[in-house]
Structure 1
Amino acid sequence: MSQNMSFQSSNSYIASDELIEIVNVAVDLERPLLIRGEPGTGKTLLARAVAESLQMPLLTWHVKSTSKAQDGLYVYDTVQRLNDSRFGSGDVSNIKDYIKLGPLGQAFQGDQRTIVLIDEIDKADIEFPNDLLHELDAMSFHIPETGETIAAQKRPVIIITSNAEKELPDAFLRRCVFHYISFPDQAQMEKIVKVHHPDIEQKLIDQCLVKFYWLREQDQIRKKPSTSELVDWIGALARSGIPLKRLEKDIPFMGILLKKEQDLQALNNRGAPSGRSRFL
Structure 2
Amino acid sequence: MTHWRIYRGADQPHDRISELPAPPPWRRFDDGADDTVAVVDRDATGSGRRRLPSGAAYRADERTVDAVNTALYLRRPLLVTGDPGVGKSTLADAVARELRLGPVLRWSINSRTALRDGLYRYDSLGRLEDAGLARHQLDAGVPAAPADLGRYVSLGPLGTALAPYSLPRVLLIDEIDKSDLDLPNDLLDVFEEGGFEIPELTRAADQQPTVAVRPFDGGPAIPVTRGAVQCRHFPFVILTSNGEREFPPAFLRRCIRLHLPSAHEDRDRLRAIVEAHLPGADAAAETAIDAFLSRAATGELATDQLLNAVYLLTPPTGDGVPDPERLVRLVMQHLNTTATDTM
Query: TM-score by structure 2 length?
Result: 0.68
* Gap change, CA 1:155 and 1:236, over 3 Å in 2: same
Which amino acid in structure 2 is aligned with residue 198 of structure 1?
P
Could you tell me how far 1:93 is from its partner in structure 2?
Answer: 4.5
Instruction: Quote the residue 2:291 is aligned against.
Output: 211
* Gap change, CA 1:5 and 1:56, over 3 Å in 2: farther
d(CA) in 2 for partners of 1:257 and 1:131? 39
* Gap change, CA 1:232 and 1:100, over 3 Å in 2: same
Instruction: Quote the residue 2:113 is aligned against.
Output: 67
Which amino acid in structure 2 is aligned with residue 71 of structure 1?
D
Instruction: Quote the residue 1:274 is aligned against.
Output: none
Could you tell me how far 1:235 is from its partner in structure 2?
Answer: 0.6
Taking the TM superposition and a 5 Å limit, the aligned residue runs for 1:27-46 are: 27-46=72-91
d(CA) in 2 for partners of 1:80 and 1:156? 31
TM-align CA RMSD = 2.5
Instruction: Quote the residue 1:252 is aligned against.
Output: 327
d(CA) in 2 for partners of 1:215 and 1:253? 10
Instruction: Quote the residue 2:195 is aligned against.
Output: 140
Q: Which has the higher helix share?
A: 1
Could you tell me how far 1:204 is from its partner in structure 2?
Answer: 2.1
**Deviations for 1:191-246, whole angstroms, at most 9, x for unmatched residues?**
1101111122x22211211110110101xx3xx2211111011111224349xxx7
d(CA) in 1 for partners of 2:326 and 2:10? 31
8 Å CA contact 2:164, 2:229 repeated in 1: no
Taking the TM superposition and a 5 Å limit, the aligned residue runs for 1:152-171 are: 152-171=231-250
Identity percentage of aligned residues: 32
8 Å CA contact 2:82, 2:261 repeated in 1: yes
Instruction: Quote the residue 1:190 is aligned against.
Output: 271
Instruction: Quote the residue 1:273 is aligned against.
Output: none
Which amino acid in structure 1 is aligned with residue 115 of structure 2?
A
* Gap change, CA 1:241 and 1:106, over 3 Å in 2: same
8 Å CA contact 1:72, 1:102 repeated in 2: yes
Instruction: Quote the residue 2:19 is aligned against.
Output: none
* Gap change, CA 1:154 and 1:203, over 3 Å in 2: same
Which amino acid in structure 2 is aligned with residue 235 of structure 1?
Y
Greater displacement, 37-46 / 11-20: 11-20
Unaligned runs of 5+ in 1: 269-279
* Gap change, CA 1:137 and 1:251, over 3 Å in 2: same
d(CA) in 1 for partners of 2:285 and 2:150? 56
8 Å CA contact 1:61, 1:117 repeated in 2: yes
Instruction: Quote the residue 2:7 is aligned against.
Output: 7
Query: TM-score by structure 1 length?
Result: 0.83
Instruction: Quote the residue 2:219 is aligned against.
Output: none
Which contiguous aligned blocks of 4+ residues in structure 1 show a shift greater than 6 angstroms? 87-90
The answer to whether 1:238 aligns with 2:314 is yes
Aligned residue pairs: how many? 257
**Deviations for 1:223-272, whole angstroms, at most 9, x for unmatched residues?**
x2211111011111224349xxx75xx4534121116674434xx5xxxx
8 Å CA contact 2:5, 2:69 repeated in 1: no
8 Å CA contact 2:291, 2:328 repeated in 1: no
d(CA) in 2 for partners of 1:259 and 1:207? 18
Instruction: Quote the residue 1:277 is aligned against.
Output: none
d(CA) in 1 for partners of 2:98 and 2:2? 13
Which amino acid in structure 2 is aligned with residue 118 of structure 1?
I
d(CA) in 1 for partners of 2:155 and 2:333? 40
Secondary structure (helix, strand or coil) at the match of 2:154 reads strand
d(CA) in 2 for partners of 1:31 and 1:122? 18
**Deviations for 1:101-158, whole angstroms, at most 9, x for unmatched residues?**
1122222223222111111112221111111110101111111112122211111111
* Gap change, CA 1:19 and 1:171, over 3 Å in 2: same
* Gap change, CA 1:258 and 1:84, over 3 Å in 2: farther
8 Å CA contact 1:69, 1:129 repeated in 2: no
